[in-house]
Structures are given as C-alpha cells and as structure tokens.
C-alpha cells in the first residue's frame, strides 16, 4: 500500500500544461508526486479527484490534448446506464451499478445537469422478446428495477414508438451533461490541490525500482520545438482511454503486449418536431454484437439523436461521420419509430470505443469485453484501466473508488 507523501519537486502550471521543472538544492531521491494519472477524460478526472482527497498527498493529471475530455468522454450518448446488459459477475456490471448511484448523487450535490428519463428496450418478434425476458431475469438477480410494458401500453403512450412484442422499461436509466460533469470533477480536483498538465503526450514510462515509484516522460507540446520533461510519482494510474493500451505496452514485456481495436460509432441528429419521445428507446440487443443497436437518445434540451452504430476503423482519428451509413441507420430507426422522416436525419458526430478484442460483444455472452481495472504486472503501485468503453461514463466514480482501493485497500 502507498504511504502518504507531500508533493515533490515538479511543479505544473494549473490547468495550462507547460511542464516546468524546479530543481531543489538537495540531491536526495524523492517522487515529484504521490499519484500520476495519465488520461484526462471523465474516468481519469474521476480517479484524480478521488486520489487528491487523500491527506498529505499530491496528484498530477497528465493529458496529451490541449483540453480535457476531448475523446470518448465527449463523443458518446451521455447516458446514465442502469446496468442491464453486463451479466451478474462482470466488473462492468459491478461498476455500472455502483457508479449509477454515485453519479446521480454527485450530479444532485454539485449541480450537474441530468435527468432520470427512463428507457424502453423494444421487441419486434418472439426471439427479441425472449432476449428481453433473459435480460429481465438478470436484472432481477442484480436488483436492477425493470417493468414489462405491453404493446398496447406502448401505443397508448402516443409517442409513435413501435414495440410489436412489448418493451422492457428501465426506470433508473438517465442522461447527463458529460461536459458539465467533467468541469465539476476538474474543479473539485483542483480545489484539493490537484494539478493538470495539458498538451503533454507521454513518450515513455518506466519503473524506478522496488518501492521507488515511476518515471513518466512527456513531450511538452506547449513549448517551442521538441521540449521534453519527466514526472516521477509513487503510484501510476493508466486511464488513457484510446491511448491506454499504448501506455500499457510501454511497460510490460513484449509477450504481454496487447492490441486495441477501434469501434467507431456514428450519430445522427433529427431536425423535426415530430415524433416527440420523452424517454430513451433501444432495440432489443443482438447477442454477440459490439454495440447495443442504433438507439434513440435525448440531450438535456430534449432533442432527439440516434446512434451509435458500429464501424470498425484502423485509427481513433477517424472521427468524420460516415454519411453513407445514414440510410441503413434510418431503416433500423424506423423499425421502432416508424414516424421518423429520413429526410430530416443528418450527420451529427462520431465517437470511438476502445475494444480489447475485434468484434468484442457489448453484452454478457460469447466474446464479451469486460473492463480491465487492476494492479498490473505484480506491482502494487501501477493500476491499468483498459477497454473502458460504455458504460464508462456511468461507472467513472465507481472506477475511481476501485483504483483508490487497489492502491490503498486491496479490493477483490
């Protein structure tokens, strides 16, 4: 377990990158920080905020971009998931269930815009209904509230949703303003003395020896030329999202290196007043699929958007919406919302989900991709967070708790 230790010799400009080293007169070895967190998305922010609350410690958050949360954290559906899809034993299920409650409480306490809008997962045939009945059984085992809604009740609601074989209602599903959430987490992190290094892509990570912590080398993109700097820390947390496997591979032996696969999700906005739907609507999940289907979500203003689909790409930089996929998306949407006018759908944005296997399933079953959040390589001061896709936003505060406990309390 880690000892509590005050900040060391490296000072970072608060919130503006610009790594500037301040050398002490003494030559005694000492870590610059107690904790270094790599990755400034919502998960990295939640972890950094959690660790910064420990007394007599110091925490630095290292982000390669010029702003926090510009990758997966700001390019998703902004859904607070109920924990329906991930089975009874997975880490995704445990962290989503815990994270959902933590997130609702956090948003209420800190004024982060959110709404508990609920969700319908709709079935159009007997096979889909059987799939939803299985989900309902899993939810009962996990104490996740659900309610069966008949096809007649769906019609009587008058919102134009089609569910030929009924729908499974999730009353605890909601939506959140992800940008406001990240701003709140950053404010609390800095309030507790945390420091943010922006424009600081990591170029190397290496252990300093037993009990001596870690050295993180970065390129200081805020400086002229190719300036470099280093940070030392007692504990290292890899929460780099789309770059997490790259960071992982800097440290582990070649035989244990991993590959990351990129599942792009295209989103489409809807520019019409009708149909007007007051809840999220998802199709019944397809077993083994890498996503949950092109579903209907709402933003905080009540505007409809649809997505994401699944498009495998070679690079996380492929962020332009694939307009050629709109026609297929429209067909899928009209299965459960037949009143949608395809002419009023238009490309909105795209996001990338980090997958640990190609074709990795989004729900429990064959080829299921679970979260990886554990102490790595037999070391007690390095936590890896790999494959943090959906429900990563919902789970962020629970992931932060787990990372803290891995470093200080050793959870199972």
For residue range 239-259, what is the model confidence (pLDDT) as tens digits? 999 999 999 999 999 999 999
- How far from chain centre, in Å, is Cα 301? 22
- One domain, residues 224 and 287: no
Interstrand relation of 304-307 and 202-207 (parallel, antiparallel or unpaired)? unpaired
The pTM assigned to this predicted structure is 0.92
Per-residue CA distances from 105 to 3, 111, 118, 344 (Å): 30, 10, 17, 37
pLDDT of residue 8: 32
In the block, residue with structure tokens 């905020």: 49
Lowest mean pLDDT segment, chosen from 27-41, 98-112, 312-326:
27-41
pLDDT of residue 365: 66
Plot region of 339 (φ>0 → left; ψ -120 to 50 → alpha; else → beta) = alpha
314 with 373, same domain?
no
In the predicted structure, residue 24 carries a pLDDT above the cut 70: no
Q: Which of 333, 355, 377 is the last residue of a domain?
A: 355
pLDDT at residue 368, as a whole number: 86
Answer yes or no: is 397 within a domain: yes
Give the position of tokens 């959906």. 390
Q: Using alpha carbons only, what angle is made at residue 83 by residues 314 and 285, rounded to the nearest 5 degrees?
A: 60
Q: Which of 311, 332, 355 is the last residue of a domain?
A: 355
Indicate whether 224 belongs to any domain: yes
Residue 109 lies in a domain: no
Rounded Cα gap, residues 364 and 373, in angstroms? 18
Find, among 214, 225, 227, 218, the residue nearest to 197 by Cα. Answer: 218
Residue 388 included in any domain: yes
Note whether 154 and 32 are same-domain residues: no
- The tokens describing 28, both together, are 């005694």
My answer on whether 288 and 156 are in the same domain is yes
pLDDT of residue 212: 87
Residue identified by tokens 């069966």 is 148
Nearest in space to 178 (alpha carbons), one of 2, 330, 390: 390
pLDDT at 302: 92
Distance CA 172, CA 164 (A): 23
Tokens representing 29 are 């070895």
For the chain, what is the mean pLDDT? 90
Cβ contacts of 236 within 8 Å, gap of 6 or more: 35, 36, 38, 205, 213, 214, 216, 381, 382, 383
| Residue 34's CATH number | 3.50.50.60
84 occurs within a structural domain: no
Kindly state whether residues 299 and 231 are assigned to the same domain. Answer: no
- Helices marked H in 162-282: 178-191, 244-251
CA atoms within 13 A on the CB side of 62: 34
Structure tokens at 369: 């991709």
> Is residue 227, in this structure, part of any structural domain at all?
yes
Position of tokens 């209420």?
A: 108
| pLDDT surpassing 50 at residue 6 | no
| 188 and 155 belong to one structural domain | no
Does pLDDT of 231 surpass 70? yes
| Whether residue 278 is found in the same domain as residue 166 | yes
Q: Residue 376: inside a domain, yes or no?
A: yes
Tokens of 367: 């080829």
Whether residues 28 and 150 share a domain: the answer is no
Any domain includes 3: no
250 near 88, Cβ under 8 Å? no
Check residue 360 and give its pLDDT: 73
Region of 207 (left: φ > 0; alpha: ψ -120 to 50; beta: rest) is beta
Q: Are 58 and 133 contained in the same domain?
A: no
Backbone angles phi, psi at 361, to 5 degrees: -75, 145
Per-residue pLDDT tens digits for 314-361: 999 999 999 999 999 999 999 999 999 999 999 999 999 999 998 877
Q: Is the pLDDT of residue 407 over 50?
A: yes
Question: Count of alpha carbons within 13 Å of 102, Cβ hemisphere only?
Answer: 19
* Mean pLDDT (whole number) for 100-124: 99
SS3 state at 219: strand
Choose among 123, 122, 147, 127: nearest CA to 136: 147
Do 242 and 254 belong to one domain?
yes
* Percentage with pLDDT > 70 across the chain: 90
Contact 299, 138 (CB under 8 A): no
CA angle at residue 116 from 110 to 118, to 5 degrees?
160
Q: How many domains are there within the chain?
A: 2
Question: CA angle, 56 as apex, 54 and 61 as ends, to 5°?
Answer: 65
Instruction: Report pLDDT for 28.
Output: 37
Pairing of strands 311-313, 114-115: unpaired
Percentage with pLDDT > 90 across the chain? 81
User: Is 325 in the same domain as 399?
Assistant: no
Are residues 295 and 270 part of one domain? Answer: yes
Residue 10, pLDDT above cutoff 70 = no
Report residue 68 CA to chain centroid gap: 13
The 8-class DSSP code of residue 316 comes to T
Q: Is it the case that residue 9 has pLDDT exceeding 70? A: no
Q: In this structure, what CATH number is given to the domain that contains residue 327?
A: 3.30.9.10
Domain of 50, in residue numbers: 10-72+180-258+368-408
> Angle CA(171)–CA(289)–CA(341) in degrees, nearest 5?
65
């Amino acid at each position: 377990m880690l000892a509590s230790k005050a900040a060391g010799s490296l000072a970072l400009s608060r919130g503006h990158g610009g790594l500037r080293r301040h050398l002490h007169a003494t030559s005694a070895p000492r870590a610059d920080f107690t904790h270094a967190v790599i990755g400034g998305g919502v998960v990295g922010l939640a972890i950094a905020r959690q660790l910064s609350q420990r007394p007599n410690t110091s925490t630095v958050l290292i982000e390669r971009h010029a702003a926090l949360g510009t990758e997966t954290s700001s390019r998703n559906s902004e859904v607070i998931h109920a924990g329906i899809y991930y089975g009874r034993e997975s880490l995704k299920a445990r962290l989503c269930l815990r994270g959902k409650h933590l997130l609702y409480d956090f948003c209420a306490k800190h004024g982060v815009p959110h709404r508990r809008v609920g969700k319908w997962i709709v079935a159009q045939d007997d096979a889909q209904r059987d799939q939803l009945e299985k989900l309902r059984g899993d939810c009962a085992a996990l104490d996740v509230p659900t309610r069966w809604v008949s096809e007649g009740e769906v019609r009587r609601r008058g919102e134009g949703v089609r569910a030929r074989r009924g729908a499974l209602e999730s009353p605890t599903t909601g939506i959140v303003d992800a940008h406001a959430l990240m701003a709140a987490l950053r404010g609390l992190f800095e309030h507790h003395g945390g420091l943010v290094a922006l424009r600081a892509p990591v170029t190397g990570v290496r252990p300093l020896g037993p009990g001596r912590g870690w050295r993180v080398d970065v390129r200081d993109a805020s400086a002229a030329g190719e300036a470099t700097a280093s940070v030392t820390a007692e504990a290292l947390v890899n929460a780099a999202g789309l770059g997490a496997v790259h960071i992982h591979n800097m440290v582990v032996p070649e035989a244990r290196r991993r590959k990351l696969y990129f599942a792009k999700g295209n989103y489409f906005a809807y520019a019409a007043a009708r149909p007007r739907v007051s809840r999220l609507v998802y199709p019944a999940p397809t077993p083994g699929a890498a996503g949950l289907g092109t579903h209907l979500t709402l933003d905080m203003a009540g505007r409809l958007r649809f997505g994401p689909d699944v498009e495998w790409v070679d690079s996380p930089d492929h962020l332009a919406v694939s307009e050629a996929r709109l026609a297929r998306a429209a067909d899928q949407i009209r299965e459960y919302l037949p009143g949608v006018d395809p002419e009023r759908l238009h490309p909105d944005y795209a996001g990338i989900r980090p997958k640990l296997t190609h074709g990795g399933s989004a729900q429990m079953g064959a080829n299921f991709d679970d979260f990886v959040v554990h102490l790595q390589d037999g070391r007690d001061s390095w936590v890896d967070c790999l494959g943090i896709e959906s429900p990563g936003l919902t789970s962020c505060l629970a992931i932060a708790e787990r990372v803290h406990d891995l470093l200080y309390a050793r959870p199972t």
